[in-house]
Structure 1
Amino acid sequence: MSKYEGVIFDLDGVITDTARYHYLAWKRLADELNIYFDEKINERLKGVSRLESLEIILERSNKKYSQEEKEYYANKKNEYYKEFIKNITPKDLLPGALEFIEELRKRGIKTAIASVSKNAFTIIENLGIGDKFDYIVDTNNIKKGKPDPEIFLNASYNIGVSPQKCIGIEDSAVGIIAIKRAGMFAVGVGNPETVKEADLILKDLTEYKKNFRITLIIKE
């Protein structure tokens, strides 16, 4: 029997790359507010909730915004984002993602999505992979964002696997922290510097086939 019985995935940057759509939506909003925003600032938004992301953008503004105004602009960004993600199809799955998920399911390993995106269900439906997961976290039920471990613990509970028997996969620094705080094995994908605190780092999910350690982990 495998040592690990559950794998919990972040969505953006792990299974599909909607980061560019987030960037374009935030850039459009920032331009409307006459606030400087670039890709370097955008890196700070990865794995962070929408309102927290807005707070980071507003750091460069001299104007004070009420909570009501912040919620209005956060929702406005989301409307821009939803326009962009209408174009997502199964072709937008990142290399190795579908094959890895199907390999896990063949081995009887439970799978879940733990994304802070309130559009996760729409994205997964557009990608055509809704039937590949035992559970998708509903962010409406999550009170604390990453790096708090709540979202990963919620996924673990709902797939019926203890955190110690789960692997979490993330591409953001705050996501890796959240996984480790949940007591799970942390796999980082993407920029090695961003996910340097992970227990194992992969370029992308194609590496599960040639990386002896991840193959060993899911076979244990």
Structure 2
Amino acid sequence: MVKLLRAVIFDLDGVITDTAEYHYLAWKALAEDLGISFTREFNEELKGVSRMDSLEKILARGGKQQDFSNEEKEKLADQKNRHYLTLIKNITPSDILPGVKEFISDLKTRGIKLGLASASKNAFQVMELLGIKDQFDAIVDAREIKKGKPDPEIFLAAGKLLHVEPDECIGIEDASAGVESIKRAGMFAVAIGAKENFPEADLVFSSTAELSFENILEIYNKNLT
């Protein structure tokens, strides 16, 4: 039986809007408060990773994993998030990445369901600020899952809310952990970024401005068995 493409599930940061700089600044401030060096290169390792897992990576970088109780770690993560929320207050629809509005409009016209699978606990707020939350049929964020990316749970949860099978979905990500999550969910994976960074992806666009449903559908159909 030939499967039809029925849904597209987006990551948020780096795919719909670029809040990576705000995350970087908030994590950097926290790390420096703890006496831990924090670079843009290290920040790349946190893309697509949950807040608590990101904190653990930062503490490990400074050799301070055992210096804090679980309760203290929760407070540190909350401190980072409060800083981040202050930074993103000025987000507007103009912060949607190039090509994304047009791509979403094309999908809606074709009757394709839209989902969001974000490791951020602030996904609903960011989508509201961008003015596109109501265009999405399902939104799943880190508050609703137990396992973060690269575990497939978040994409499977989004697919379930959309009432579609995994092989009827594509996922779009800009992080290797996210692409792994999509593939482990049994979905078609589209990556945004440098091709050499995503060997597991089914299709790679160098930027969101290149997103094309026709190109995606062509490769998706070729992958059908």
Q: TM-score range by the shorter chain?
A: over 0.9
**What corresponds to 2:79 in structure 1?**
76
Task: Check if 1:216 corresponds to 2:223.
Answer: no
Q: Deviations over 1:60-95 (max 9, x none)?
A: 324422111111111100000000110100110001
Matched, 1:59 2:60: yes
Match of 2:84, SS state, is helix
Q: After TM superposition, list the pairs within 5 Å mapping 1:1-220 onto structure 2.
A: 3-63=4-64, 64-209=67-212, 213-214=215-216, 216=218
TM-score (normalizing by structure 1): 0.94
Aligned length: 219
Shift of the 6–217 alpha-carbon distance from structure 1 to 2, 3 Å rule, reads farther
CA distance in 1, matches of 2:153, 2:63: 34
In structure 1, what is the Cα distance between the partners aligned to 2:220 and 2:97? 20
- TM-score using structure 2 length: 0.92
Amino acid at match of 1:149: P
Return closer, same or farther for 1:52/1:146 CA change in 2, 3 Å cut-off.
same
Contact 1:171 1:191 in 2 (8 A): no
Runs of 4+ with deviation above 6 angstroms: none
Q: Distance in 1 between matches of 2:101 and 2:214?
A: 19
SS in structure 2 at match of 1:169: strand
Paired amino acid for 1:26: W
User: Once the two structures are aligned, what percentage of the paired residues are identical?
Assistant: 57
The alignment's C-alpha RMSD in Å is 1.9
Contact 1:35/1:60 (8 A) holds in 2 = yes
Work out whether residues 50 and 142 of structure 2, in 8 Å CA contact, stay in contact via their aligned partners in 1.
Answer: no
Aligned in 2, Cα 1:97/1:91: closer, same or farther, shift over 3 Å?
same
The CA distance in 1 between the partners of 2:125 and 2:152, in whole Å, is 24
